[in-house]
Structure 1
């Protein structure tokens, strides 16, 4: 393997970005796999993300086998597993990050144009066939959607692996409620490797500072970076700031393999919406479980990626022509999966079923109460929970979902948090490994009631589309109808278990004393680090009133869930 460090790539405004290029040690030309982002290409996975690396070592040794792991980098491919197969692997530090100077503004139009330039640069190098593919996790998935919408001429295929596709609805806000993720993530993973920071870690391979070589003063660093956290607070509604950071999916025409995860409050929705929204005639969806970083690196994930890119970048017969349009790993309550090839998403045999919130018995019922009833709860309290009776037969829920609710508030607004739950016969909650939380929930939905307006042209019964562009304050005590989007989920529930839903005015937390793991200073009790307690967004007393749920009679409140018929055997 031949490696060129800090290769210069000149942007249209004259700024020079730096890239590491890993390529076969021959005189031939090869297709390119590229990533471009702010996490510092020289920072070793093992050094920057020790907990995640330890998880792979302990639970998924196949992910690290067959490589010296000398060049491993967070959320990007291992060159030692790709270069021997005839690929050039390129990692670019984006503007203002790592070894690249400039003004750091994450996921901005400027950053996306830079990515376009990098793709086109790689395509015309003497070691390149002219075909460029994009493959990476999270940030390196999000910006694939963005740059593919610009249609670089030499972009041949993309595989966004757990990458959000909507900057407002997924990356920063849930149901119009500000998520604290960016505030927690940005200082740890982005600011820490801003170009020019003092005492940045050094590359295990080159010995150079990963965010150097120059060192900037605190004043210079501040002038070279956008205040992303403040921008979110200054833009509570979905305006041009978010639109220019959200890909126009309909403009994407290249082959797409969208890989997503059932249990990620940042990325789950984007994989499904990206798959549905692109104009590509050749597109595939793959859905898996486990922690956010795992399957990208396992033998399963790498083999899937190689079949896709072998077909589209190298013209090889990898069997991809027989790949089902959709592959799901449906989750079982024991932590195993049922892998299936499917023909469509949502699954074409889905039976959409209403589960009514019965206020009289506190149950999820097949039919609504003939009598109108109402129950009030403190918005910051324990909320309401509804359960089915123990199931008499196995029940599979796989797909997107929604809730239609009639609510009132003692104040001018109310935040609604929905958590789908499953309990075993002993009354213990079933949990699944989530993005960073070892005990993630089954499914979640959120909505700020004043942002309940939907776009009828884009809404579907199982996936309402909220505009988030204007507030419609509540009149205290006056009921309104709201539709809540519940992000896609999957669970096969055995007989004897119960299905439930909790409705609160704050983040749902699993009951019990723990101990609960923590990350970024957040105690994780089902939502991981994706909680909604920013004082600028939620500190007002308007979100601490009394919420009333109304159900029955002419105003039923219910869940619309994707029931998938089970086949014998």
Structure 2
């Protein structure tokens, strides 16, 4: 939680005296239940509030974490030189008409549609041939239209699938800290975003698609000023650049990533309503030809 604000602080605060620790836990556990985090917080405050010479400056500047999902424990405290990682390989995976993601855009134009007023989605899957790590800020570039309305609220959700194609979840606190042994043991009341994570999300209202490059902290996290509305002409295709919350996930060979484009969130959410949505009718995701809709993923090796 609050991860994108932490990243903005890391990138934009103009001082050499800053540190970034990307941990795998929900914030409350990390603050109150993680002995390492508590000790480091007191050491930091001791150094800069009390002037103690306690060796804080020897703390690695940047540390990452990798979620593995399922019953596997995450990997913590991976020391890296900077964030985003300097050797990040930003790969574009193009949406295909058969529901997959490919390394090249289709030459033929087509579209996949979904009912924006329901839980339908347009979904696209990529299966990893070898162990892969995705760490950083993804982005979706989508060419979309709506014949039925002058606006669209578009959600992009990335989920992880096991080798059998089943959706995987990640636990936001250590397994040893809860009275259940598997995700199947969770009751509906216990299945909250505080303890469960299914993957990162990106959101954009099409009429607010304007981007201010000068205020964008990264090309994959475009800054939308939200100062004016640019309503859609029904049936006209528009380009949407949708920043997706940062991720740090490891995939084994045979596991898959699936991206959903929809009119509502697929993430774990236990508050709010759908009353704010401005969706009507069918959304079309245009693919190939002059509309090379794609997902940009930050591949790394750490």
TM-score bracket relative to the smaller structure: 0.7 to 0.9
Contact 1:506 1:532 in 2 (8 A): no
1:347 aligns with 2:107: no
Q: TM-score, normalised by structure 1?
A: 0.47
- Please give the residue correspondences for 1:326-345 in structure 2 after superposition, counting only pairs within 5 Å: 326-333=62-69, 334-345=72-83
1:461 aligns with 2:198: no
Instruction: Give the length in aligned residue pairs.
Output: 277
- Please give the residue correspondences for 1:39-438 in structure 2 after superposition, counting only pairs within 5 Å: 264=1, 267-297=2-32, 298-333=34-69, 334-359=72-97, 361-381=98-118, 382-389=120-127, 391-410=128-147, 411-434=149-172, 436-438=193-195
Contact 2:21 2:77 in 1 (8 A): no
Contact 1:335 1:432 in 2 (8 A): no
Cα distance in 2 for residues equivalent to 1:442 and 1:347: 20
Which runs of at least 4 in structure 1 moved beyond 6 Å after TM superposition? none
Determine which structure has the larger strand proportion and give its number: 2
Contact 2:92 2:295 in 1 (8 A): yes
Cα distance in 2 for residues equivalent to 1:530 and 1:504: 19
Taking only aligned residues, the RMSD between alpha carbons, in angstroms, comes to: 1.7
Structure 1 residue 458, shift from structure 2 partner = 2.3
Structure 1 residue 531, shift from structure 2 partner = 4.9
Contact 2:23 2:76 in 1 (8 A): no
Contact 1:407 1:550 in 2 (8 A): yes
Q: Which moved more, 1:441-450 or 1:458-467?
A: 458-467
1:558 aligns with 2:294: yes
Q: Which residue of 2 aligns with 1:471?
A: 229
Runs of 5+ unmatched residues, structure 2: 173-191
Q: Which residue of 2 aligns with 1:250?
A: none
Cα distance in 2 for residues equivalent to 1:528 and 1:494: 27
Contact 1:417 1:444 in 2 (8 A): yes
Cα distance in 1 for residues equivalent to 2:11 and 2:77: 21
Q: TM-score, normalised by structure 2?
A: 0.86
Structure 1 residue 456, shift from structure 2 partner = 2.0
Higher relative contact order (CA 8 A, sep 6+): 2
Deviations 1:1-58 (A, max 9, x none): xxxxxxxxxxxxxxxxxxxxxxxxxxxxxxxxxxxxxxxxxxxxxxxxxxxxxxxxxx
Runs of 5+ unmatched residues, structure 1: 1-263, 509-525
Structure 1 residue 376, shift from structure 2 partner = 1.8
Deviations 1:467-486 (A, max 9, x none): 11111001000000110010
Q: Which residue of 2 aligns with 1:529?
A: 270
Q: 1:373 to 1:531 in 2, by over 3 A?
A: farther
Cα distance in 2 for residues equivalent to 1:305 and 1:299: 10
1:446 aligns with 2:210: no
Deviations 1:143-167 (A, max 9, x none): xxxxxxxxxxxxxxxxxxxxxxxxx
Q: Which residue of 1 aligns with 2:283?
A: 547
Determine which structure has the larger helix proportion and give its number: 1
Cα distance in 2 for residues equivalent to 1:384 and 1:309: 48
Deviations 1:536-563 (A, max 9, x none): x22xxx5121101111112200111110
Cα distance in 2 for residues equivalent to 1:530 and 1:466: 25
Q: 1:462 to 1:554 in 2, by over 3 A?
A: same
